[in-house]
Structure 1
Amino acid sequence: MTGWCSWHRGEVADAIAVRVIEQTSGPGRPVYACRACCRYHRLTPIRTADAAPAGQLQRRT
């Protein structure tokens, strides 16, 4: 299964979720990067538990 790396804009076999884009309605959309881009850009993979459940607001401090 292939994924899409948003940093080098290409298909990859090792896509990792690194960000969640907030949307006005519904759950956020994850953004993926390959392992090479994660190392180069120092991106930290997100865990599923770090994202708020659908319908709940996240408070930023």
Structure 2
Amino acid sequence: MIYYKASLEMPNKVMFLKYEEMKERPMELLRRVAEFLGCPFSEAVDEQVNEILRLLQLR
């Protein structure tokens, strides 16, 4: 719970993810992580990530 609270207090420094959300919406959360790290997906990367998720059967 400490990490969740920290993510609310310092959203630019702490990102809180739930495993269940990652399983349900992997692409959405990967985009959020990339943006959080300052590396948002381009359209080409988006397609590559979708293909990887498909191969891993996460999509």
**Superposed pair shares fold, TM > 0.5:** no
The TM-score normalised by the length of structure 2 is: 0.23
More strand by share: 1
More helix by share: 2
The TM-score normalised by the length of structure 1 is: 0.23
User: RCO greater where, 1 or 2, for CA within 8 Å and sep 6 or more?
Assistant: 1
